[in-house]
Copies of this chain bind each other. A is one copy, B any other.
Amino acid sequence: MPKIAIDVMGGDYAPDEIIKGCIRASKETKCVLVLVGKESVIKEKLKDYTYDPDKIEIVNAEDVITMEDSPVTAIRTKKDSSMVVGLKLVKDKAVEGFVSAGNSGALLAGGTLVVGRIKGVERPALAPLIPTKKGNTLLIDCGANMDAKPAYLDQFARMGTVYMEECMGVKAPKVGLINIGAEEEKGNALTKEAFKLLKEDEKINFIGNIEAREIPSGEADILVCDAFVGNVILKFMEGFGMWVFSMVKAEFMRSLKTKIAALLMKKGVMSIKEKFDYASKGGAPLLGVNGLVVKTHGNSKEKQIYCTIMQTEQFIENKLIEKIASKFN
């Protein structure tokens, strides 16, 4: 049975919510879950639950990388942290995947420093799915490469294509380049050059520039950008969405009349909220690393940890990493 390691000490709600998520996933997944963290703490917490002991293992790691730690330094010096130990398990092929809600920068750095890159991939990229009118679009890169080169964006497009084909069942997924205008000559130095590379790349289905206004249309299955822009889009969507929903909620609570409206609209509002339920979307794989490393939101609770583990199992079944590697050899 494949194994998935989980960073039990990483994230705002570690270790309690991480363990809860693992217990829930252990009842459904075919994988063995390897809980990485302080063994004494984990053992104590596990006493509160019933679970199949064949599905849960513990690997001890005494140290913890905090959200405040400097990424590269933390990876280099905290060798016995749950994150570094988990990454090492991936590197050594002792597990088939690793999930962490911990320090993003450290996980990104650790992916490259501990696990290493797929041969031919210049820079790994973090690739979450974002909701759109048509379903979900892969936004790549959202984390790793703040000052990207045009060639990186082309590689992101190739890796994203494998993801959407193999894991989401999209045939010849459409690749869009996030830009400030639809025309080829528009953009900054990065996007102008990247456009040329993407246009000439026969391994992808490039549909051209996508303006930010068109992102929600879902025209593109994959949107490539540098990590600064990806991060801005991802976080702005989260913050802006939360604000709009809080305004709607306040209006529903305003009077008896509007509270009645809220009751009548409950189903409709829930269906919209579901579309933006990031927890159910799981996490984002760090594509380009020579092993499966999946980042999930720092504020993940039980549900998101559970969803990310189930998603990681899918990645393993779909041989995501092996198939990306085969495209670069």
Interface of A toward B, CB cutoff 8 Å: 70, 133, 146-147, 178, 180, 185, 187-189, 191, 211-217, 226-229, 231-244, 247-248, 251-252, 254, 257-258, 260-262, 264-265, 268-269, 271-272, 275
Contact assessment for A213 and B227 in the assembled complex, using a CB-CB cutoff below 8 Å: no
- In angstroms, Cα B188 to Cα A229, docked, is 10
Contact A216 B232 (CB under 8 A): no
In the assembled complex, the CB of A141 is this many whole angstroms from the nearest CB of chain B, namely 12
Inter-subunit contact B146/A180 (CB<8 Å): yes
Q: How far is the CB of A245 from chain B (nearest CB, A)?
A: 9
List chain B residues, Cβ under 8 A from A265. 251-252, 258, 261, 265
Which residues of chain B come closer than 8 Å to A268, judged between CB atoms?
248, 251-252, 254, 258
Least CB separation from A260: chain B residue:
B264
A243 in complex: contacting residue of B212, B216, B247, B261, CB < 8 Å: B216
- Within 8 Å CB of A236, what residues of B? 212-213, 215, 233, 236-237
Q: Which residue of B lies closest to A68 (CB)?
A: B183
Other A-B pairs, 13, CB within 8 Å; known A191-B228, A216-B243:
A146-B187, A180-B231, A187-B228, A212-B231, A212-B234, A213-B236, A215-B236, A229-B229, A244-B272, A248-B272, A251-B271, A252-B265, A252-B268
